[in-house]
C-alpha cells in the first residue's frame, strides 16, 4: 500500500503510516442508536461519559460556515444511524498516538498572525517550516482528517467549549461505546468528556451534517441511576 498516495498529505507521512498499520488491527463497529437519548452510564453519581444533544445551536459560527463554503467535502452530510467506534486496545493506542503526534507537529499560531484575520478555519498545509502552524480548531480539523481513513465520519464531531479560565476552545470528539473521548491540543492524553471538569461544552457538530452545530448537555445521575440535573 502506498501510504503517501493514499492519504495525499505529505506533511503527515509518519502519522499516516501509523494509521495505515492500525487499519487492519482496529475493529470498527457500527451501531444504530438515537444520540438524543444516549445517556447510558456505568459510573453513577457523576456526569455521563456521553454527550446528549439537546437542540439546535444557532449562535452563529460564521467562520465555520465560511470554511464549509470553501471546502464543502469537509462539511458533508452522511445518512444513517449513529455510529460508535468499538474501543479496542489497538484503537486506544492509535487515538493516543495520533493526538500526541499531531500536537507535537504543530506550533500554536493565532489566525491573526498566520492569516491576517481572526478566527479563520482551515486544515493547515505544509510550508517550508518543519512543523505545521495553527490554532485549536486547526489542530482538531487536522486530526479529524487523518482519522477519517479509519473511523466513520459520524463517529467524530468538533466540540466548541468554554475553558474555566475564561476563553473559548475547540477539540475533536470521538464517540465510542465506552464513552465520548476528547482529542485536545492542550493535552497529549485522551480524556472522557466527564473527565474534563475545566471545560463547559456548548455545542458539537452534527454527526450527520457537519455544517451544523447542536447544543449538548451531560446528564448527571445519582447512585440509583436517576437523572439529577443536566450539566450544560
Q: What are the cell numbers at 118? A: 481572526
Give pTM, 2 decimals.
0.78
What pLDDT is stored for residue 231 in this prediction? 37
What pLDDT is stored for residue 189 in this prediction? 95
Which CATH number covers residue 190?
3.10.620
CB proximity list for 74: less than 8 A, separation 6 or greater: 67, 68, 123, 141, 145, 210
Helix ranges, the chain (H): 3-7, 13-23, 62-70, 89-105, 111-115, 136-147
Q: What totals of helices (H) and strands (E) does the chain contain, helices first?
A: 6, 10
Q: Which of 12-21, 72-81, 184-193, 208-217 has the lowest mean pLDDT?
A: 12-21
Q: Averaging pLDDT over each range in 110-124, 127-141, 177-191, which range is the top one?
A: 177-191
What pLDDT is stored for residue 172 in this prediction? 98
Residue range of the domain that includes 198: 3-231
Does residue 230 register a pLDDT over 80? no
Q: Averaging pLDDT over each range in 78-87, 181-190, 206-215, which range is the top one?
A: 181-190
For 97-132, what is each residue's pLDDT tens digit? 999 999 999 988 888 888 888 889 988 887 667 678
Contact (Cβ atoms closer than 8 angstroms) between residue 212 and residue 227: no
Measured distance CA(181)–CA(171) in Å, rounded: 10
DSSP-derived letter for residue 221 is E
| Count of the separate structural domains present in the chain | 1
Measured distance CA(34)–CA(215) in Å, rounded: 15
Q: What are the cell numbers at 204? A: 458539537
Q: Closest Cα partner for 150 from 3, 13, 23, 17?
A: 23
Measured distance CA(98)–CA(133) in Å, rounded: 17
Amino acid at each position: 500500500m502506498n501510504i503517501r498516495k493514499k492519504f495525499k498529505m505529505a506533511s503527515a507521512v509518519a502519522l499516516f503510516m501509523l494509521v495505515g498499520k492500525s487499519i487492519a488491527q482496529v475493529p470498527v463497529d457500527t451501531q444504530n442508536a438515537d444520540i438524543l437519548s444516549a445517556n447510558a452510564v456505568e459510573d453513577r453519581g457523576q456526569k455521563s461519559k456521553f454527550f446528549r444533544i439537546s437542540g439546535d445551536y444557532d449562535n452563529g459560527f460564521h467562520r465555520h460556515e465560511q470554511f464549509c463554503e470553501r471546502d464543502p467535502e469537509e462539511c458533508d452530510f452522511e445518512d444513517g444511524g449513529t455510529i460508535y467506534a468499538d474501543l479496542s486496545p489497538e484503537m486506544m493506542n492509535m487515538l493516543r498516538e495520533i493526538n500526541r503526534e499531531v500536537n507535537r507537529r504543530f506550533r500554536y499560531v493565532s489566525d491573526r498572525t498566520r492569516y491576517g484575520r481572526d478566527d479563520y478555519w482551515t486544515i493547515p498545509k505544509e510550508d517550508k517550516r518543519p512543523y505545521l502552524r495553527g490554532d485549536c480548531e486547526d489542530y482538531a480539523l487536522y486530526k479529524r482528517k487523518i482519522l477519517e481513513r479509519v473511523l466513520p465520519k459520524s463517529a467524530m464531531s468538533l466540540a466548541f467549549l468554554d475553558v474555566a479560565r475564561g476563553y473559548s476552545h475547540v477539540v475533536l470528539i470521538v464517540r465510542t461505546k465506552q464513552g465520548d473521548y476528547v482529542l485536545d491540543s492542550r493535552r497529549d492524553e485522551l480524556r472522557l468528556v466527564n473527565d474534563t471538569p475545566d471545560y463547559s461544552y456548548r455545542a458539537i457538530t452534527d454527526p450527520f451534517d457537519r455544517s451544523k452545530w447542536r447544543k449538548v448537555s451531560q446528564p448527571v445521575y445519582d447512585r440509583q441511576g436517576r437523572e439529577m440535573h443536566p450539566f450544560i
